[in-house]
Amino acid sequence: MEIIGIILISIGVIFSTLGALGLIRMPDIYNRLQTSTKATTLGAFSTIIGVGFMHPAWLIKTILIAFFILMTAPISSHNLGKAAHKAGIPLTDKTQIDECPQKEENK
Amino acid sequence: MEKNNWFGRWIYSFIILSVGWLLFTFPYNQEELIVGLIASFVISLFTANFFKEFGLKSFSPMRIIGLILYIPYILWEIVIANLEVAKIVLSPNLPIKPAIVKAKTTLKSDFGKMLLANSITLTPGTLTLDIDGDDVYIHCLKIEDTSEENATKTITAKFEKHLRRFVV
């Protein structure tokens, strides 16, 4: 059990590091959001589950926490992306096409 | 969309809250159980009004099996996409081909669209920017063919195939 936990936490740490590296390397806000979802999904997810494997009494709770993260984490990414697009933050030059219309919302 | 009656929504809210509480306090004792059930009862009286799309029929066995089968599928997709994005981040010349593409969804309910958008955003490399009716606008980190048909086929259709087992 402990070994599984250590492996899972290591995977989480590696992917969180890669997410941070991606944040620096990517050219614009949208691509940066892409790599930051990696840190929240596999990074946080496998770290939390790994802690659950290290302490088997917490396993069910950690799975529940991971489930809540899975349900709520995309919402922040989505809203950041939507707000950036609405505010007209330019996409990088490599972008091939932008089909999302710039619309006025009066809500 | 048919409306669920208030009682069904209240039972749904109560069961979800109670199960959540039981899982959080797993090796539970009697006092915790009673306090949790009372709290669930009171809270569900208030929250039942918000669960417009849920009711007793949400607990049909087919839906629960579909949901349980969906979780390993989405986890597997996340792992695969994570490895692909990790490869892009680590390659020296950063081979990205970003684009905002439009895809169609066939899911009708708000809950189904929410699950679809969440699944797309959870998968690294794709990010849902907006949903307008049946159109989903997705920012992709790397995509070769930016036509609407290809985006529908490669991004939304594969999630919908599994999602349609338990949402409309």
Give residue-wise pLDDT tens across range B103-136: 888 888 888 888 888 888 888 778 888 888 788 8
* Distances B41 to A6, B18, B23, B37, B79 between C-alpha atoms, Å: 40, 9, 17, 6, 38
pLDDT of residue B1: 40
- A97 contacts in chain B (CB < 8 Å): 99-101, 146
Burial of B146 (0-12, 13-18, 19+ CB in 10 A): middle
> What number of residues does chain B have?
168
B38 and B89 assigned to the same domain: no
B70 and B27 assigned to the same domain: no
Flag whether B40 is in a domain. Answer: yes
pLDDT of residue A102: 64
Q: What number is the average pLDDT over the span B142-161?
A: 77
Query: What whole-number distance in Å separates Cα of residue A107 and Cα of residue B35?
Result: 40
Flag whether B108 is in a domain. Answer: yes
DSSP state of B103: E
B89 and B41 assigned to the same domain: no
Decide if pLDDT at B2 tops 60: no
Please give the residue range of the domain that contains residue A68: 2-86
Question: pLDDT per position in chain A (107 positions), as tens?
Answer: 788 889 989 988 988 888 888 888 888 888 888 888 777 778 888 888 899 888 888 888 888 888 888 888 888 888 888 888 888 777 777 666 766 666 554 43
B66 and B147 assigned to the same domain: yes
Q: Are the beta carbons of A34 and B125 separated by less than 8 Å?
A: yes
Which residues partner with B135 through β-bridges?
B104, B132
B84 and B50 assigned to the same domain: no
Q: Does A30 reach chain B within 8 Å, measured CB to CB?
A: yes
B53 and B84 assigned to the same domain: no
Instruction: With both helix axes pointing from N to C terminus, report the angle between A2-25 and A29-38 in degrees, rounded to the nearest 10.
Output: 170
B112 and B152 assigned to the same domain: yes
B35 and B116 assigned to the same domain: no
Decide if pLDDT at B168 tops 70: no
Are the C-beta atoms of B159 and B121 separated by less than 8 Å? no
Q: Does A104 reach chain B within 8 Å, measured CB to CB?
A: no
B91 and B126 assigned to the same domain: yes
B75 and B141 assigned to the same domain: yes
Q: Are the beta carbons of B121 and A94 separated by less than 8 Å?
A: no
Task: Note which residues in 9-68 of chain B have CB less than 8 A from chain A.
Answer: 20, 23-24, 26-27
* Ranges A9-13, A96-100, B153-157, B161-165: which has the least confidence: A96-100
Flag whether A13 is in a domain. Answer: yes
Please give the residue range of the domain that contains residue B111: 60-163
Flag whether B136 is in a domain. Answer: yes
Burial of B116 (0-12, 13-18, 19+ CB in 10 A): buried
Domain boundary among B15, B31, B58: B58
**Average confidence score pLDDT of chain B:** 80
B79 and B144 assigned to the same domain: yes
Q: Taking the model in full, what pTM does it have?
A: 0.78
Please give the residue of chain B at the shortest CA–CA distance from A14: B86
Domain boundary among B33, B58, B83: B58
- B143 contacts in chain A (CB < 8 Å): 96
pLDDT of residue B142: 79
Query: What whole-number distance in Å separates Cα of residue A82 and Cα of residue A86?
Result: 6
- B25 CB neighbour count, 10 Å cutoff: 15
Q: Does B130 reach chain A within 8 Å, measured CB to CB?
A: yes
Mutate: best of B74, B84, B85, partner A, most A CBs <10 A: B85
Q: Which tens digit of pLDDT belongs to each residue from B80-109?
A: 888 888 888 888 887 878 888 888 888 888
Q: Does B100 reach chain A within 8 Å, measured CB to CB?
A: yes
B91 and B25 assigned to the same domain: no
Query: Nearest Cβ partner of A21 from B20, B74, B89?
Result: B89
What is the pLDDT confidence band of residue B13, given thresholds at 50, 70 and 90? Answer: confident
Residue among A46, A58, A68 nearest B25 (CA): A58
How many domains, chain B? 2
Residue B99: strand, helix, or coil: strand
Residue among A47, A54, A49 nearest A64 (CA): A49
Token pair 């009673």: residue: B34
How many domains, chain A? 1
B157 alpha-carbon distance from chain centroid:
15
Q: Does A33 reach chain B within 8 Å, measured CB to CB?
A: yes
Domain boundary among B22, B38, B58: B58
Query: Nearest Cβ partner of A38 from B85, B94, B101?
Result: B85
Decide if pLDDT at B68 tops 70: yes
Query: What whole-number distance in Å separates Cα of residue B9 and Cα of residue B25?
Result: 24
Distance separating the N- and C-terminal Cα atoms of chain B: 10
Flag whether B168 is in a domain. Answer: no
